[in-house]
Amino acid sequence: MGLLDGKVVLVTGGGRGIGRDACLIAAREGAKVMVNDLGAGLKGDDAGDESPAQEVARLIKEGGGKALINSESVTNYAACEAMRDECLKEFGGLHAVINPAGILRDGMFHKMSEDDWDSVIDVHLKGSFNVCRATIEHFREQDGGAYVLFSSTSGLIGNIGQTNYGAAKMGIAGLSRIIAMENATKNIRSNVIAPGAWTRMTESVPIRNEEHAKRREMMRQQMGPEKPAALAVALASDAAKDTNGQIFGASGDNISIYSQPRPIETKTKEGGWGVGDIVGELLPALTPKYTPMTLRPPSNPQDGARKEKAG
């Protein structure tokens, strides 16, 4: 008996990287899988290559499972509705959505084009909206469903050269949280993973120095995409029914849970804070509480690899 016996799972970006392994693991756990992959390049261009999705579907079927392929874009809301409808028609249901589909258009903010901004927001943030909005009413009607969405340390912590990607990934964390809050009474869960894994996204990061090159090699050897994919499949299963509205990190052999933004210090002044009071009294008092402008120093080599762009 697998954790997903009798379930139907839609996986976007299912032809490569984390999505590919999520498809294969979900199938091994008993799910019928729709493998959605646009077949595009890393920047979202050259779409139309169905071979990655076809290969994944072939492997699932050879293992005795059931799979459909879909080559539409998550940026198209009608296409996401069609994915839902095809799952219902061909498989008789839909119970979980795993959504790691993504692209990169990196660049310093002062040089970023509007197109590079829009393209990344469309795939990551609008794409997450599309797949969730297209399926949420079905989940509510059947009184159950699970979303596993993908954020990144580039948004949760920050990464130079990725304002578009980081903004989208931080937005996904907010989207997931509110979906979880609004639909918990309907047994619908939504959780987020910020992965660290060796994929074509991480491979595209320019090597800056020798230390960076060593981290990259360690990442390639130790941090396969199957590890965050396994977490995604677990979160999609009914065995995780009590886990909702959370943000997880998955990097190599490590799985983390993230804190979520809450006030850490409040200062009260009778009559309110004037401008002079703020700069002369309030800000100096709060300075020790500031979040540093640098990435967290790694406590172990795999933590260092979390600095890489992933997801």
Are residues 136 and 81 in contact, defined by beta-carbon separation less than 8 angstroms? Answer: no
Q: What sections of the chain are H helices per DSSP?
A: 17-28, 51-62, 77-91, 114-121, 127-141, 153, 163-183, 200-203, 210-222, 226-236, 275-277, 283-286, 301-305
Q: Which two structure tokens, joined as six digits, stand for 122? A: 């469309």
- Concatenated DSSP letters of 149-179: EE--HIIIII-TTBHHHHHHHHHHHHHHHHH
Annotated catalytic residue, options 147, 165, 258, 290: 165
The CA distance from 279 to 276, in Å, is 5
The CA distance from 212 to 231, in Å, is 27
- Concatenated DSSP letters of 14-63: TTSHHHHHHHHHHHHTT-EEEEE-----TTS-S----HHHHHHHHHHHHT
Beta bridge partners of 162: 107
Helix, coil or strand: residue 96: strand
Angle at CA 234, nearest 5°, toward 139 and 145?
5
Are residues 71 and 53 in contact, defined by beta-carbon separation less than 8 angstroms? Answer: yes
**Which of 121, 139, 103 shows the shortest CA–CA distance to 9?**
139
Are residues 52 and 15 in contact, defined by beta-carbon separation less than 8 angstroms? Answer: yes
The CA distance from 72 to 75, in Å, is 9
The CA distance from 106 to 116, in Å, is 8
**Residue 165 annotated in active site:** yes
User: Known catalytic residues?
Assistant: 165
